[in-house]
Structure 1
Amino acid sequence: MGWLQSLISPLKKMWIRLHSAQKKSRGIYILYEDVKSCPYEDVHVLWSILVESNPPSLPSKQ
């Protein structure tokens, strides 16, 4: 039974890391919907500054 645990444990850790990374990256898109619906010009300007200063990271090809 120990060999089964040694096989499942790394897979479980990898699944948790991938799943939590998706939640973090999804947050900015939820905020985008709120910004898009806001009628104030200042909010849109601040959003464009934020997006330009933090470009999304692309997965590296190895």
Structure 2
Amino acid sequence: MGWLQSLLSPLKKFWLRLNSTQKKRRGIYILYEDVKSCPYEDVHVLWSILVESHSPSLPSKK
């Protein structure tokens, strides 16, 4: 029975790591609907700054 546990343990760790990565990836976008429905313009400006700071930058062509 020990061999089965030694086989499944790395798979379980991989599965848990994969799930936690997907949750982290959602990050700030969980709040998107709340921000979209907010009537204040400054909230929208702050949101756009936040989103731009988290977006991956494109490599520059030289």
TM-score range, shorter chain: 0.7 to 0.9
Q: Which runs of 5+ in 1 are unaligned?
A: 58-62
Q: Following TM superposition, by how much is the alpha carbon of 1:12 offset from its aligned partner in structure 2, in angstroms?
A: 0.1
Counterpart for residue 60 of structure 1: none
Where do residues 1-62 of structure 1 align in structure 2 (5 Å cutoff)?
Answer: 1-56=1-56
Tell me the C-alpha RMSD between the 2 structures: 1.6
Q: Which runs of 5+ in 2 are unaligned?
A: 58-62
What is the TM-score when the length of structure 1 is the normalising length? Answer: 0.80
Quick check: which has more Rg, 1 or 2? 2
Q: List per-residue Cα deviations over 1:14-55 (Å, max 9, x = no partner).
A: 000011111222232221111111010000000001111111
What is the TM-score when the length of structure 2 is the normalising length? Answer: 0.80
Identity across matched positions, percent: 86
The alignment of Structure 1 onto Structure 2 pairs a total of residues equal to 57
Runs ≥4 residues deviating over 3 A: none
Distance across 1 between alignment mates of 2:38 and 2:56: 23
